[in-house]
Structure 1
């Protein structure tokens, strides 16, 4: 029996999937690790925690294999944008600065002022946002010059784990596209951006396609993980690119909604020369030669987790959602905006904060829960709205992640998005995408589309409820007004908070 392994390096845990030739997940293992928040807006992790967790998860998968079972290949999906810095000896210089770290607002302004917004979008297809890697590099360069002086290579999270397993430095295009250093259309490091900000190209890893082989396992890794020495290692991709692969978003016209800590709406593109004027992200896909456009809600599932943790810690998510389902669409006039960590699409605002609006005495916990679910989904719909305004037809969306575990939330997506929502037989998303990359790299299939036909099947399709669809269409217009009505208040509150702290 032959297998492949998909490793998904997330923000809160690493998960490893053991997958057979039919796409069945035979076994899975995960290991959590902490996030460090030294100051407001800071979000960091110790890269060694990723390595330890990955090795332990792999050991758990391989411990039950028999002599006639073989792992042909492994590949990776990883959280995007995180800055890992290593020195000439391969040692980590400082903790990794993560995608949801928002300390770099001034650096983002500097990028736009020095390079120019038009030139930035022409080269990288994306605006300067706090989450991207280049602003983090400029922050370290400015605030930690000694650390910057030690830099030999920068990496992204999954690439560091792969480096530790193979000793080879590399980065795939789909993850490199999220650094703000890549010429997305050409698939090469942008010499203009590097020269403008005085970053040596030698600091940037060699670039690979997701299905390219990326080195051999080191002997000590074989001993620690139980993997066979001849197991092939493939480059892998950014978590959203792998999520798209694991959701069969592999052809023009296909889209995906992923609700995890953050939320993503992603649509396949077969051209790299389109112009969305920076309103949505535009990245290289894990499919060689392809691209995808993407909008992000920073606190999607995280908003629901925050709400439950603080207001209903004794209840299960299932109970909360059951209560929400008993309240009318629109939560009888109660709106929630999920800006508790700032927002990415379409506002790119690190200071905006969330709100409940419309509260009155008739509102129960069920109303509040429904408002949270609807607010998260409205935020995701902002991206779909932009795609449609740009001429894209979006009428069928694959849903993965936490939002795909609830029939109620899946129907809510269908109603608000005004599209058919597809639930797959596998909800593994990025981890499955990584396994599919390993399967194609190992020669099981000639391309990812062929693999998807074997690995992925539709389980259920949710169609819009016509009455709810009209209600949400009107409510979405009101939702869109909340940002403009509250952004100045959020800034005033932020300034007030900082004065109190000082």
Structure 2
């Protein structure tokens, strides 16, 4: 039996999945690392901690599965998007990586959007937001010019980790699309944009497809881990692209609803030229010449966690959610907007804040709990509404993963609010499985990722929308959509007072 390894470089930990040719996960390991917040709004990480984690994960996997030393064929990667890694001429990090969730770059985003916003939206298919890589580069140029002078290579996290394995630089299209420097029309670095912002093209890596073999494991690492054969190192993809792969979102009419700390609503796109006017992200997929559109709810599971910790701290989640089916749709007029840290889609508003609307004396904990779940799902519905209106294409199957997939009542709620059949995965492994799939295709186990998904991804029975409930939810959702405009001015006034 031979194996591939998918390494998922997340914000808090590196996870490794060893997968066989049947798509079965035969071993897994993880190693965590810290995130630093030196100032309010800052989020940084030491890139060397990713290497230490990879070293430990592979040692752990070899210990659990000794035959891996003779049977591992390839390694590929999934990684947190956007985060900026700056290397010097010796290929060593010049400073901690500035992570995707760092929000220090508001001024730089404003400058980019005011000067080149239309051009970037046309070619890069997105607008400048704090999470993207280009604004982080501008911040370093303006605030740490002595460091910028020393930069010889720009990397994203998984690419820096992969460089450690091979000494070869590369970046796949799915991750490059999240830098805001990739011209997605012609799949090249945008030279006009780079010149405008004084970013030398020479410090950006070559671009490759996600399933491309970019090298083999360096002899010293091969000897260190005891591998007997040459290990192919495959490019890999951005975490959302790999999550879509690992969920089987590789065909028209399929989408993904992921409810973690944040929430993602994602749709497979045959082409990258879909024009959402910046209301949604559009990025290259891990599959060649395909894309995905994506909306983001900043506080999805985070809203539920906040609610539980604030109002039902000592109740297990199972107990907290146990009575939601006794509450009618719409919670007798009670609505929740999950804007507790601002919102991304469709408003891109850092100053909006959450609300409970319609509180009545008869409302109990179970009513508030259900309203939180409905509000989170309505927020993701906002992304679905934009996707289906612009694409003029209904999503026929939606894969639900994360916290929203773990409760039967919430799954039925999703099916009814999205008016779409919902499936869950028999084995949910997240972006790590997508990375393993890229390794499998890179090792030529399969002709393409669709064939691989047919073997690697299996679903439980679908949860179907209930027509009467769908109609009732349409009325409640129409009320929910009015919350933002009704509360925006109040929230913005508060922040204006603080700033003054």
Normalising to structure 2: TM-score of the pair? 0.95
Q: After superposition, give the CA deviation of every residue in 1:402-455 in whole Å (9 maximum; x if it has no partner).
A: 222222222111011110111122211311111111111111111111111111
Tell me the secondary structure at the aligned position of residue 215 of structure 2.
coil
* Residue number in structure 1 paired with 2:66: 66
Q: CA deviation at 1:228?
A: 5.1
Q: After superposition, give the CA deviation of every residue in 1:27-50 in whole Å (9 maximum; x if it has no partner).
A: 221222333233332222222222
* Residue number in structure 1 paired with 2:443: 442
* Residue number in structure 2 paired with 1:153: 153
CA contact (8 A) 1:395 1:418 kept: no
CA contact (8 A) 1:424 1:460 kept: no
CA contact (8 A) 1:59 1:226 kept: no
* Residue number in structure 2 paired with 1:108: 109
CA contact (8 A) 1:377 1:416 kept: yes
CA contact (8 A) 1:401 1:428 kept: no
In structure 2, C-alpha distance between the alignment counterparts of 1:103 and 1:421, rounded to whole Å: 38
Tell me the secondary structure at the aligned position of residue 216 of structure 2.
coil
Q: CA deviation at 1:308?
A: 2.9
* Residue number in structure 2 paired with 1:119: 119
In structure 1, C-alpha distance between the alignment counterparts of 2:451 and 2:226, rounded to whole Å: 30
* Residue number in structure 1 paired with 2:184: 184
* Residue number in structure 1 paired with 2:90: 89
Gaps of 5+ in 1: none
In structure 2, C-alpha distance between the alignment counterparts of 1:171 and 1:310, rounded to whole Å: 42
* Residue number in structure 1 paired with 2:10: 10
Tell me the secondary structure at the aligned position of residue 264 of structure 1.
strand
Tell me the secondary structure at the aligned position of residue 462 of structure 2.
strand
In structure 2, C-alpha distance between the alignment counterparts of 1:36 and 1:369, rounded to whole Å: 33
In structure 2, C-alpha distance between the alignment counterparts of 1:429 and 1:358, rounded to whole Å: 37
Gaps of 5+ in 2: none
In structure 2, C-alpha distance between the alignment counterparts of 1:414 and 1:177, rounded to whole Å: 31
Tell me the secondary structure at the aligned position of residue 37 of structure 1.
coil
* Residue number in structure 2 paired with 1:284: 284
* Residue number in structure 2 paired with 1:464: 465
In structure 2, C-alpha distance between the alignment counterparts of 1:338 and 1:394, rounded to whole Å: 24
Structure-to-structure mapping, 1:261-272, within 5 angstroms: 261-272=261-272
> Are residues 225 and 354 of structure 1, via their aligned partners in 2, closer, same or farther at CA, if it must alter by over 3 Å?
farther
CA contact (8 A) 1:219 1:229 kept: no
> Are residues 475 and 38 of structure 1, via their aligned partners in 2, closer, same or farther at CA, if it must alter by over 3 Å?
farther
In structure 2, C-alpha distance between the alignment counterparts of 1:226 and 1:482, rounded to whole Å: 59
Bigger CA drift: 140-149 or 378-387? 140-149
* Residue number in structure 2 paired with 1:238: 238
Q: CA deviation at 1:460?
A: 1.7
> Are residues 219 and 416 of structure 1, via their aligned partners in 2, closer, same or farther at CA, if it must alter by over 3 Å?
same
Q: CA deviation at 1:101?
A: 1.9
Q: CA deviation at 1:225?
A: 4.9
Q: CA deviation at 1:488?
A: 2.5
Q: CA deviation at 1:238?
A: 0.6
> Are residues 113 and 319 of structure 1, via their aligned partners in 2, closer, same or farther at CA, if it must alter by over 3 Å?
same
Structure-to-structure mapping, 1:466-485, within 5 angstroms: 466-485=467-486
* Residue number in structure 2 paired with 1:430: 431
Bigger CA drift: 473-482 or 64-73? 64-73
1:396 is aligned to 2:397: yes
> Are residues 367 and 76 of structure 1, via their aligned partners in 2, closer, same or farther at CA, if it must alter by over 3 Å?
same
CA contact (8 A) 2:27 2:64 kept: no
Q: CA deviation at 1:295?
A: 1.1
Q: After superposition, give the CA deviation of every residue in 1:52-83 in whole Å (9 maximum; x if it has no partner).
A: 22222222112122348511111111111111
In structure 1, C-alpha distance between the alignment counterparts of 2:54 and 2:359, rounded to whole Å: 45
* Residue number in structure 1 paired with 2:351: 351
* Residue number in structure 1 paired with 2:56: 56
In structure 1, C-alpha distance between the alignment counterparts of 2:355 and 2:207, rounded to whole Å: 42
In structure 1, C-alpha distance between the alignment counterparts of 2:339 and 2:40, rounded to whole Å: 15
In structure 2, C-alpha distance between the alignment counterparts of 1:155 and 1:294, rounded to whole Å: 23
Query: Aligned residues, how many?
Result: 498
1:32 is aligned to 2:26: no
* Residue number in structure 1 paired with 2:328: 328
> Are residues 239 and 477 of structure 1, via their aligned partners in 2, closer, same or farther at CA, if it must alter by over 3 Å?
same
Q: CA RMSD in A?
A: 1.9
Q: After superposition, give the CA deviation of every residue in 1:478-498 in whole Å (9 maximum; x if it has no partner).
A: 221122222222222223344
Q: CA deviation at 1:233?
A: 0.9
In structure 2, C-alpha distance between the alignment counterparts of 1:469 and 1:40, rounded to whole Å: 42
CA contact (8 A) 2:5 2:75 kept: yes
In structure 2, C-alpha distance between the alignment counterparts of 1:438 and 1:456, rounded to whole Å: 15
Tell me the secondary structure at the aligned position of residue 64 of structure 2.
coil
CA contact (8 A) 1:104 1:130 kept: yes
Q: After superposition, give the CA deviation of every residue in 1:457-496 in whole Å (9 maximum; x if it has no partner).
A: 2212011122322222112122211222222222222233
In structure 2, C-alpha distance between the alignment counterparts of 1:87 and 1:332, rounded to whole Å: 60
Q: After superposition, give the CA deviation of every residue in 1:356-396 in whole Å (9 maximum; x if it has no partner).
A: 22223333222222222211111111111001211122232
